[in-house]
Structure 1
Amino acid sequence: MSAASPPAALAKESEGSEGSKGSKGSAGPGRSGRLRRARWRRGAVPYLLLAPALLTFGVFKAYPVIDSLLLSFTTGSGAATRDAGLANYRRLLDDPLFWTALRNTGEILVVQVPLMLGLALLMAVGINSALVRWRTVWRLGVFMPSVTGLVATGVMFAYLLKADDGAVNWLLNAVGLPSVDWLGQPVWARMAVVVVLTWHYTGYNAVIYLAGLQSIPRELYEAAMVDGAGPIRRFTSITVPALRPVLLFTVVLSTIGTLQLFDEPYVLTGGGPDNATLTVSMYLYQNGFRYFDFGYASAIAYALTLLVSVLGAVQMRLMGEKDK
C-alpha cells in the first residue's frame, strides 16, 4: 500500500496541474474580452462628451448652411419651389441694386475701418502711457459703448442726428455753423453710419490693442531711448511690428463685420435716402423676408461669403508673418 501511494500522488498532482492549466486557458478569453470592452468604453467617452456639441452644430449650423446652398439653386417659394441652376448667380451680375449695395458697403468699409482702428490704436497708446492714471477707469469707459445694444445705438443716434432738433445740429448752430441733414442726404447718411460704427466699436478694438501693448517688453523701449530714438521712431520701429498679429486680427475681424453690416443702417436710415446706405446684408434681408425670394437671397449670401473669404485671404497674405 505504501509502495503504491507515490504513483497515485503523482497522478493526482498531474491531474491538478492539467486542471489548473485548463482553468487558466478558459479564463484567458474572458479577461481579454473585458479588456477590449474597457478600452472601447474609454475610447467612447470623448465622443459621448462631444456628442451634444456635434449634434447642436449639425442641426443649427451644418444643416442650414447646406440647405441654403441648395436653396440658392432654386427659385420660387414653398410648394412652388423649382430648380433654377445658376440663374440666381447670373442674376446677381445684372442686378444694379446689388451693385449699389456692394458699392455702398465698400465705401463705408474703406472709410470706417481705417478711421476706427487708427483711433483705437491711439487710445490704447494713450491709456498705456505711464503718465495716465486710473487706467482701469479709462479702459472701462472706452469699452462701454461696445456693450450697448446695436438697436439702442441706432435709435440714440437717430435722435442725435435729427435735422430739426437733433443735439448735433444744435451744437453746430451754437458755434455758428449751419445745420446738416445727416439722414436726408446720401453722403451725410453714409457718414452718419460711419460715425455710429466708429463710436460703437473703437473702444472694443482699443482694449485689444491695449492688451497687446502690455505684452511688449519695456526693455525694448528703454534700449531704444538709450540709442536716442524719439517717440515716433519707437512707435514705428517697436510698437507697430510687435502688434502685427493683433493688427491683423482686428483688421480681418473689422472687415468681416463691416461687410455684414445690417443693424446700424437698418435702424438709422432704413437703407435710404435713395438707397444710399443700402448694404449687401440689407438687400439680402429685403429679398428673403420682404419679397420671399429665398433662392436669390441665398445666392446673395453666398456671394457675400465668397467676398469675405477672398478679402480675408488677401489681408492674411499681405499682413501675415513673412517667411524668412
Structure 2
Amino acid sequence: MAETKNDLANRTPRTTSRMKRKDLTGWLIMLPTLLLFAFFVWEPLVESIRLSLYTAKGIRLEKFVGFSNYMKVLKHPDFLAAFSNTFVYILWSLIIGFLVPIIIAVLITETTHFRSFFRVGVYFPNIMPGLATVLMWGFFFRPGNTGVLNILLDKIGVAPQIWLTNPKWTIPLIVLAMTWKGAGSTALIYMAGISNINPELYEAATIDGAGILSRMRYITVPSIFSLGKTLLILQIISVFQIIYEPLVMTNGGPNNASISIMQLVYNYAFRDYNYPMAAALSVMMSIVLIILSGLYFKITASKEN
C-alpha cells in the first residue's frame, strides 16, 4: 500500500500538468465562442441595463434617473394590457399548442402505413419563413368578403365573420397560426421519445385488447411525461417572446386586445423612440426569462437524476 501511495505521489505532478494543458487547450478552443457570446449577448444586456437608468436623446445618454423608467413602464396604459395578454397567450398555447403536438405524435406513431410521409407533412410548415406564414394566416382570417375563410364559409351559407377584429377571437386565432407553424417539430421530438418506449409494452397491451386511447393513457403519456415538462417550460419561454405574429396580423389590436410584451418593447423603441423605456421593459423581461430558464434547468436536472 505504501508503494502505491508513493507511485501516486510521483505521478501527481505529471497528471496535474497534463490536466492543466488539456484545460488550457479547451479554454482556447472555446475562447472565440465566448468572445462572440459576450459581444452579442452580455454587452448589449449590460448596455440595456445602463440605458434603462438614464434619460436619452436617441441613444445618447443625458441624465441619470435611477428606476424612473421602470416606474413609467409599470404606469404606462399599454403595459397592463400587454402583461395580461401575454398570460392569455400562454393559456391558449397550453390549450392548443401544447396538446396538438402530442396528439399528432401519438397518431403518427400508431399509423401503420405512410408513417414517413406523415412525418414530412407535419414538419413541412416549419420550413416556411415565419413572416410568410403570418401573412398567409392574415389573409386566411381577413374579415369581410375577401378573407379566405369567409369565402369558404359563404359556400355553405355562413355569413362573413370579423375574426381577427373580434377581441374574443384574436389571441386564439394567432395561437392557432403559431401552432400550425411549430407543432410539427415538437411532434417529432415527442415521436423520438415514444420510439424509446419498449414495444413489448404495446404488444402486451394490444394482446389484452387495449385500444389506442388506453395505450395512450397507460403507456405513452406516462413515458413522455418528463419530456413534456421540459417542452412545457420551453414553450412558455417562447410565448413570452412573441412579437411578429400580433405585430403583422393585428398590430396589437383591436384596442390592444392582442398586444404582447415584446411588441410593447418594439413600440417604445421604434414608434415612440423612447429607448430608455424600451430598455427598462427589456430588462424586466430578461429577469422573467432568466427565472423561467432556471426552472427549466432545474426540471432537466431532476429528470436526469
The normalised TM-score by structure 2 is 0.84
2:299 is equivalent to residue 288 of structure 1: no
Q: What corresponds to 1:171 in structure 2?
A: 152
Correspondence for 1:59: 39
Residue of 162, 169, 173 corresponding to 1:188: 169
Displacement of 1:278 in angstroms is 0.9
Task: For residue 81 of structure 1, give the secondary structure of its aligned residue in structure 2.
Answer: strand
1:152 is matched with which residue?
132
Q: 1:277 to 1:227 in 2, by over 3 A?
A: same
Over aligned residue pairs, what C-alpha RMSD do you find?
2.9
Give the 3 Å change call, closer, same or farther, for CA 121–91 of structure 1 in structure 2. Answer: same
Aligned counterpart, 1:45: 25
Alignment of 1:28-39 (within 5 A): none
* 2:289 is aligned with 1:305: no
Tell whether the 8 Å contact from 2:234 to 2:296 is kept in structure 1 after alignment: no
The match for 2:142 is 162
Structure 1 distance, partners of 2:187, 2:124, is: 12
| Displacement after TM superposition at 1:318 (Å) | 8.5
Deviations 1:81-138 (A, max 9, x none): 3211111222233222111011112112201233122111111111111x43121111
Larger mean CA deviation between 291-300 and 41-50 belongs to: 41-50
Write the distance in 2 (CA, Å) between the matches of 1:138 and 1:97: 43
TM-score of the two chains, using structure 1 as the length reference = 0.80
Question: How do 1:1-324 residues align onto structure 2 when only pairs under 5 Å count?
Answer: 44-77=24-57, 78-129=59-110, 131-163=111-143, 164-225=145-206, 229-311=210-292
The answer on whether the counterparts of 1:108 and 1:190 sit within 8 Å (CA) in structure 2 is yes
How far 1:181 moved relative to its partner? 0.9
Residue 26 (structure 1) aligns with: none
Count of residue pairs brought into register by the alignment: 288
In the TM superposition, residue 271 of structure 1 has moved relative to its aligned partner by: 1.2
Percentage of matched positions with identical amino acids: 30
> Structure 2 CA distance, aligned partners of 1:37 and 1:223?
56
Q: Look up the equivalent residue of 1:291 and give its one-letter code.
A: D
In terms of mean alpha carbon deviation, does 284-293 or 230-239 score higher?
230-239
DSSP 3-state at the match of 1:76: strand
Gaps in structure 2 of 5+ consecutive residues: 1-15
- Distance of aligned partners of 1:65 and 1:236 in 2 relative to their CA distance in 1, 3 Å threshold: same
> Per-residue CA shift, 1:269-322, capped at 9, x if unaligned?
111121111110000011112222222111111222233344566678789858
**CA spacing shift, 1:230–1:94, aligned 2, 3 Å:** same
Letter in 2 for 1:119: V
The more displaced of 142-151 and 180-189 is 180-189
Contact 1:120–1:205 at 8 Å: present in 2 too? yes
> Gaps (5+ residues) in structure 1?
1-35
Distance 2:301 2:166 in 1: 39
